[in-house]
Amino acid sequence: MKKIITYGTFDLLHYGHINLLKRAKALGEYLIVALSTNEFNETKGKKCYFSYNERKTLLESIRFVDLVIPENNWEQKINDVHEFKIDTFVMGSDWEGKFDFLRTYCEVVYLNRTPEISTTKIKQDLGYC
Ligand code: C2G
């Protein structure tokens, strides 16, 4: 069974995220999402609208997603790849090249980002920033 992992905040969940998760799952049979905790997001300079548990519930309801685990820090990826016996690490193309160090441990794939949608755009279009 080919196992895939991807990482992110997924707040506010939108179709760009779904496009990523759908394509990531298509690369194997089992998709793990490492979901950034609120505390980790603070270090990323991101303020979440939904709590970790709310974002986890949303992701677990997506048919492409098989398991959601916490992403607590930048350093856990190598351990995650070993612990979950990951075959392929996937991220959107805005992260192109940033995680190539993982090629020692697994396949690394960057999928094209869905260009026209982002949480920032949603907030701007709604007049919130
Ligand atoms: N994404 C996408 N298209 C968009 C928006 C996001 O393909 N229009 C992808 C991103 O490239 C990423 C995933 O969806 O692969 C999750 O996006 P974010 O929640 O913004 O993730 P980020 O905050 O970048 O956290 O350790 C990695 C970090 O946790 C990534």
Give the pLDDT of the chain (129 residues) as one tens digit per residue: 999 999 999 999 999 999 999 999 999 999 999 999 999 999 999 999 999 999 999 999 999 999 999 999 999 999 999 999 999 999 999 999 999 999 999 999 999 999 999 998 999 999 987
101 vs 74: CA distance, rounded Å: 13
Query: Atom 11, ligand 1: which residue's CA is nearest?
Result: 92
The pLDDT of residue 58: 98
> Could you list the active site residues?
44, 46
40 vs 91: CA distance, rounded Å: 18
DSSP structure class, residue 77: H
The pLDDT of residue 126: 92
Helices (H), 26-70: 38-43, 52-60
Query: Can you state the percent helix, strand and coil of the chain, rounding each to 5?
Result: 40, 20, 40
Ligand 1 pocket (Cβ < 6 Å) reads 7-10, 16-17, 20, 36, 46, 71, 91-92, 94-95, 113-114, 117-118
